[in-house]
Amino acid sequence: MLTLIVQHSSNLVAFIDALKLELYQPQMRHLLRVVDALLVSNQSKTISALYRLFQEKTSPKNGADFFRESPWQAEDIGAFRKRWMMKTFLELASKINPSFKIFIKIDDSLGKKGKATRHLEAVDLHHNHLESTRKKQVYSNGYMYVEVGIQVGPFDFLFDTRLYLREKTVRRLNRKRPAEKRLHFRTKYALARQVLVELATFLPKGHQVYVLFDSWYASEKLIKFCRRQSWHVICAVKSNRTLDKVKISQHNQSLKHRSYKRITLETVDENRKPPRYLTRSLQGYLTGIAKPVHAIISKKRPGDKRPKYFICTDLSLSVQEVLRYYQKRWSVEVDNLYLKHALGLGDFRLQSFEAIEKWFAVVVLAINYLQYRMALAYAKNPSKTATLADFIRIHRLEHFKMLLAFVLKPFASAKQIEIVLTRVLPTSAWAVL
């Protein structure tokens, strides 16, 4: 593999330094090396492949030991990262609009591994609800995690991820572990709640907070927890949920006499037309919830036999506003795409659960760095739209520039090198900055 990194990105170094992580210098060097290589590599992101990108050669075994044996925990990065990201993004949002809203997005995701992968502790058979149908349930070999993203004003970032293990898997793994290292089973709800409890300590007072999730998380317990924090909930619900002691699907039948309200939402794909929906709404009491909620029945077209159902605890919002806010969940799907396909979240070859947690902590740090650079660019010029892919490209261009200067240095003066770099990397290459 060709050498692509001759020195670390100064922007990345400044970002990691700003977090003030309490890691030893050798640990910091490995952390910086892995994050930088994750952003530069466009191939397999195994530790061996990442370490081959550097001009200064270091044994990949040292990189593996950084995850397997080095005495640090995932929260040694995560706690400092979350605190700094929240503080920074709150400050950026306040400068644009002091009365910004906050959106918390909860989801989970399944990442597939090879069928023969059996000895990595975080890998197991998980229910694949995306590929399952009513007639056939599909289980895939892979890893599953719960994620919580947050939007502060116009700025989005991934707050945290938590690996999920089935109860049966936890029992099996604990048979081979000493008592002090045994794992504890946590449901997806419990994992999400742990993150929300921590997140609540960072949120400023006086701002409206909305928690968004799909029907898989629309439990009575989670809705009640959010309402106790004075947060509003906007979520999808299944057709068997009861409103005023009647299934919401039966409300759909009883409202046939009422005309639809047509709404148009923002498109998430510039190549497609904005989505349009036919909606009906009503208010009532969701079973187990003390205060009334706003229920929405949404169809793609007249006669649609599988409408979608939503509830919102903020009765002041219109149907258009509720569904537009719910659309903001899409950013967690975008994060999943980049985590898995651009940043190598599933490329780990680490056996222990703790080492895989560390890998997740490092990959989340990498995406936060991209989200931070994107936020700075937006704050500087809101009229320019950019994606995480743009900042991955810019990060790679920065390394290409350093590599080209390193190669030319023995043969040309600084002025000549600058002329060459200007010709090879014109100003337009950095357009989103």
Instruction: Specify the residue for token string 């205060």.
Output: 291
Angle between helices 60-68 and 353-380 in degrees, nearest 10:
100
Asked whether 332 and 149 are in contact (CB, 8 A), the reply is yes
What is the token pair recorded at 6?
């001759």
Asked whether 363 and 38 are in contact (CB, 8 A), the reply is yes
pLDDT at position 430, please? 65
Query: Would you tell me how many other CB atoms lie within 10 Å of the CB of residue 246?
Result: 12
| Residue 188 CA, distance from chain mean position | 16
CA nearest 94: which of 393, 429, 375, 425?
375
* pLDDT tens digit at each of 433 positions of the chain: 577 899 999 999 999 999 999 999 999 999 999 999 999 999 889 999 999 999 888 899 999 999 999 999 999 999 999 999 999 999 999 999 999 999 999 999 999 999 889 899 999 999 898 888 888 999 999 999 999 999 999 999 999 999 999 999 999 999 999 999 999 999 999 999 999 999 999 999 999 999 999 999 999 999 999 999 999 999 999 999 999 999 998 888 888 778 888 988 888 767 778 888 999 999 999 999 999 999 999 998 888 888 999 999 999 999 999 999 999 999 999 999 999 999 999 999 999 999 999 999 999 999 999 999 999 999 998 988 889 999 999 999 999 988 888 888 778 787 777 777 777 777 776 677 6
- Show the CA angle centred on residue 96, arms to residues 94 and 102, nearest 5°: 55
DSSP conformation class of 5: B
Tens digits of residue pLDDT in 145-203: 999 999 999 999 999 999 999 999 999 999 999 999 999 999 999 999 999 999 999 99
pLDDT at position 347, please? 95
- Residue 236, classed as helix, strand or coil, is strand
Asked whether 231 and 211 are in contact (CB, 8 A), the reply is yes
Paired sense of beta strands 308-312 and 293-299, if any? antiparallel
| Residue 236 CA, distance from chain mean position | 19
Query: Would you tell me how many other CB atoms lie within 10 Å of the CB of residue 53?
Result: 19
- Residue 230, classed as helix, strand or coil, is coil
What is the token pair recorded at 102?
């906050």
Separation CA 431–CA 51 (nearest Å): 30
Query: Would you tell me how many other CB atoms lie within 10 Å of the CB of residue 221?
Result: 12
Distances 425 to 4, 389, 403 between C-alpha atoms, Å: 16, 18, 12
- Residue 232, classed as helix, strand or coil, is strand
pLDDT at position 1, please? 56
pLDDT at position 131, please? 86
Three-state secondary structure of 347-385 = CCCCCCHHHHHHHHHHHHHHHHHHHHHHHHHHHHCCCCC
